[in-house]
Amino acid sequence: MPRLKLRKTNIMRIIEESLNRISCPANVHISVESSLQDESLWVDSEHMIDILSELEKNSLEAMPDGGLLIIQVKEDEGKVCIALTDTGRGIAEKDRNHLLEPFFTTKPPGEGIGLGLPSAYAFVKSYRGDFSIESNADPQKGKTGTTIRISLPRKMILPDKQAKIIIHDDEEKSAN
């Protein structure tokens, strides 16, 4: 049974933590932009940190010669939307239909398991949010790169019967 550990968290802190978990090469610049008035979100923060750092790692891996990763956060109709845009090589059209299949990877054996995107999708769907991928791998069609968009309902969502829910309302206490 899936378990959702909900806690009122600060989304900007989650992003900061996710970035602390990756090692960013000197030739990649990361910028975080937010237009949020209210940064709170009911979510399992540890799980979300893992999910975001996997997406950030994908972006870094797509920019071996350096580039830019922009993380934009905004509010849209009761949802908190996070867009991760990189200037990497993009995702080839032939691969796009396979991205959410567990164990689909284009990385050499031993370098990728193929679980980053399927896990992110499952995470977002467990909160009844939206997940989308936009990418261009063809320099003739314009700049290459990828944008992953996640949006999560701001209000606490009661999960379906399949999930067990654990609510923490005291961050300090539940962190121990």
Ligand X SMILES: Nc1ncnc2c1ncn2[C@@H]1O[C@H](COP(=O)(O)OP(=O)(O)OP(=O)(O)O)[C@@H](O)[C@H]1O
CB of 18 to ligand X, least distance (A): 14
CB of 88 to ligand X, least distance (A): 5
Distance, in Å, from the CA atom of 95 to the CA atom of 147, rounded to the nearest integer, reads 15
Q: Which residue from 135, 55, 51, 52 is spatially nearest to 95, judged by alpha carbons? A: 135
CB of 149 to ligand X, least distance (A): 12
Q: Which residue from 125, 65, 138, 61 is spatially nearest to 96, judged by alpha carbons? A: 138
Single out the residue of 116, 124, 127, 150 in contact with ligand X (rule: CB under 6 A). Answer: 116
Q: Which residue from 18, 16, 37, 42 is spatially nearest to 128, judged by alpha carbons? A: 42
- Quick one: which H or E segment has residue 124? helix 116-126
What residues does 65 pair with on adjacent strands?
none
CB of 107 to Mg ion, least distance (A): 8
Distance, in Å, from the CA atom of 53 to the CA atom of 23, rounded to the nearest integer, reads 10
Residue nearest to ligand X (CB): 116
Cβ atoms of residues 114 and 76 within 8 Å: no
Does 86 sit near ligand X (CB under 6 A)?
Answer: yes
- Interacting stretch for ligand X, rule CB under 6 A, among 9-17, 19-27, 56-64, 151-159? 56-64
CA angle 123, 132, 63 (to 5 degrees): 95
Does 88 sit near Mg ion (CB under 5 A)?
Answer: no
CB of 151 to ligand X, least distance (A): 18
Instruction: Identify what 100 binds: ligand X, Mg ion, none; CB under 5 to 8 Å per kind.
Output: none
129-148 residues in contact with ligand X (CB under 6 A) are 146
Structure tokens at 34: 């937010």
Question: Under rule CB under 5 A, how many of the chain's residues touch Mg ion?
Answer: 2
Binding site for Mg ion (CB under 5 A): 58, 116
Binding site for ligand X (CB under 6 A): 54, 58-59, 62, 86, 88-91, 95, 99, 104-107, 112-118, 146
